[in-house]
Chain A
Amino acid sequence: MSVINTDKLTKRYGKYRGITELDLRVEEGEFFGFIGPNGAGKSTTIRTLLGLIKPTSGSAQIFGKDIVAGHREILSDIGYMPSEANFYSSMTADEIIKLSARLRKKDCTAEASRLCDRLGVDRKKKVEELSLGNRKKISVVCALQHKPRLCILDEPTSGLDPLMQKEFFDILKERNAEGSTIMLSSHILSEIQKNCTRAAIIKEGRLIALDSVENLSKTAAKRVTLHGVSAIPEELETADANVTGNSVSFLYNGDIKKLLSVLGTLPLTDMTMTEPDLDEIFMHYYQKGGE
């Protein structure tokens, strides 16, 4: 069964583009990634699904219920972590966590203390005294303490240190194993690649790819930069190649062994090989979409 199902979902802010005719489908029990650069429409999509903003046209269902008509029922089964963790500044972490549970009319005391222990939340501190990372932790507790059927996380890891990020993803994976559906929005590709089974790529408000992470990654080339040579090796199939003085840079999408054997014959002084940045992957999907 689809947990999230959108049909030509569109949101425009006056002249500004929000999202355009988005057809998105997230199945029950999935760990779903939602990728795109800042301003692509990730947050707009999520905020529309949660009823913070009203769709201009199109429709969407969560748990089979219409997002506008079934707004309250849907929200009681969702845990949402916004990209900015803002709370009432005069309240303590503990008060915020309890307020969130009361607003849901649920007793979440046990789960809240378990999450606070794992994440190391100082419950007595006031929100105004907390750093972004610590506010994010409160956000995690508020999003997960009621064990929601669907967790929507909007750029959740910004501000969290690497150890906390690991703990956070461990918790998410446990929840996912227990049957919760997770929707993770991010502009960090590695985060999606490591954790998600399926992902959607959004650019300029439109969905440009929706596939398993495995398939999406296969098409992603490597960015290779070589120092000590001044020409692209002819034996290799490359794309987006640049030559600057004594170094060359290109995208390589072929067999890695072939690349290494060719490189071994070159008088290199240094080299790097990295994941291409998101823009390059988007270029790839854009070109594919245009064919």
Chain B
Amino acid sequence: MTVYACDMKRNLRSLIIWSLAVGGMIMICILMFPGMKNETEKMGAMFSNMGSFTAAFGMDKLDFGQLMGFYGIECGNTLGIGGGMFAALAGISALANEEKEHTAEFLLTHPVSRGSVIIQKLLAALTEVLVLNIFVTAVSLVTAAAAGESFDMKSFTLIHIAFFVLQAEICCIAFGISAFIKRGSLGIGLGLALAMYFLNLLCNMSEDAEFLKFITPYAYAEPSSIIADKEIDCVLMAAGLCIAAAGAVTAFIKYSRKDIAS
């Protein structure tokens, strides 16, 4: 597991920065909740009158007066976008950066098979995503306790499981793309995460775009549905896991045969 350990160590700094950024944003939002709670009536009226935007962000189903409802929207945006972007970057840079920085020539002339490199690199990227999620979940629980609020634990757990799977899926798709590109991967990674996020907004706004929910992982990680139904849509999540597996397998097939750029 030398490649795995090396990748984890090299990416530690970026993992810490992203964890602190996403965790910090969530902490600030939770700390704002007790003050906002009293104005929820006004806010509730305002948020439910924004037409399709209300539906786009799932605000028609959530109660802003409850911590869980407030957290669902706020977490959906912060952890969804922030975590999604981190996962995309971790996945897209794993293989492509080795060629961009010409280190593939160093790594791959050692007696390690390409297959082993791929598996170790994907595991490292997924571990980073998992660590970020564990950190953010812990920050949420501690902050809520400190603010004297409590979550509905079932919804809270389901939301965080769904968000982890979402990020793992984005990471795997980005990893699959990573096997094909040789340089300039950041834009593709960020673009992928944001495109998925906006596809879900479209999907919430228009019935015609409903089919998109099978493509974007943000559909099964929609906090408003999870809180309302107290369950994750298993069909959509299964579709997501299939896409994730396709990404990983694509990376394996492509990278095993790839001519490494000099």
Footprint of B on A, CB under 8 Å? 13, 43, 47, 50-54, 71-73, 75-76, 78, 80, 82, 84, 86-91, 99-100, 102-105, 142
Contact = CB atoms under 8 A, between A and B. Distances in A.
Contacts of A54: 257, 259
Contact of A78 (B13, B109, B259, B260): B109
Given A53-B259, A91-B10, A100 B103 contact: no
Nearest to A85: B106
A177 to B, nearest CB: 25
Given A13-B259, A47-B262, A84 B111 contact: no
Contacts of B262: 43, 47, 52, 84
Nearest to A91: B10
Interface centre among A13, A43, A76, A88 (most CB of B within 10 A): A88
A100 B2 CA distance: 10
Contacts of A105: 111
Contacts of B2: 99, 102-103
A112 to B, nearest CB: 15
Given A99-B2, A103-B2, A104-B110, A88 B10 contact: yes
Contacts of B3: 103
Interface of B: 2-3, 6, 10, 13, 101-113, 257, 259-260, 262
Contacts of A87: 103, 106
Given A91-B10, A102-B2, A75 B103 contact: no
Nearest to B110: A103
Contacts of B260: 47, 52-53
A48 to B, nearest CB: 9
B106 A82 contact: yes
A73 B110 CA distance: 10
Contacts, number: 66
Nearest to A71: B113
Given A52-B105, A104-B110, A142-B106, 19 more contacts: A47-B105, A52-B260, A53-B259, A71-B113, A72-B112, A73-B111, A75-B109, A78-B109, A82-B105, A82-B106, A84-B262, A86-B101, A86-B103, A89-B101, A90-B10, A103-B3, A103-B112, A104-B111, A105-B111
B111 A75 contact: yes
Nearest to B104: A52
A73 B2 CA distance: 18
Nearest to B12: A90
B108 A51 contact: yes
A58 to B, nearest CB: 16
Contacts of A103: 2-3, 107, 110-112
B109 A80 contact: yes
A100 B6 CA distance: 11
B103 A50 contact: no
Among A13, A47, A73, A103, residue most surrounded by chain B Cβ atoms (within 10 Å): A103
Contacts of A102: 2
Nearest to B112: A103
Nearest to A83: B262
A86 B102 contact: yes
A99 B106 CA distance: 11
Given A87-B103, A88-B10, A89-B101, A52 B108 contact: yes
A86 B101 CA distance: 7
A86 B97 CA distance: 12
A204 B140 CA distance: 63
Given A43-B262, A47-B262, A76 B105 contact: no
What are the 8 A-B residue pairs with the smallest beta carbon separation, nearest first?
A86-B102, A76-B111, A103-B110, A53-B259, A75-B111, A52-B260, A80-B109, A102-B2
A78 B10 CA distance: 26
26 contacts: A47-B262, A52-B109, A52-B262, A53-B260, A71-B113, A72-B112, A72-B113, A75-B110, A75-B111, A78-B109, A82-B106, A82-B109, A84-B102, A84-B262, A86-B105, A87-B103, A88-B10, A88-B101, A91-B10, A99-B2, A100-B110, A103-B2, A103-B110, A103-B112, A104-B111, A142-B106
A43 B102 CA distance: 14
A279 B262 CA distance: 25
Given A47-B262, A71-B113, A99-B6, A88 B108 contact: no
Contacts of B108: 51-52
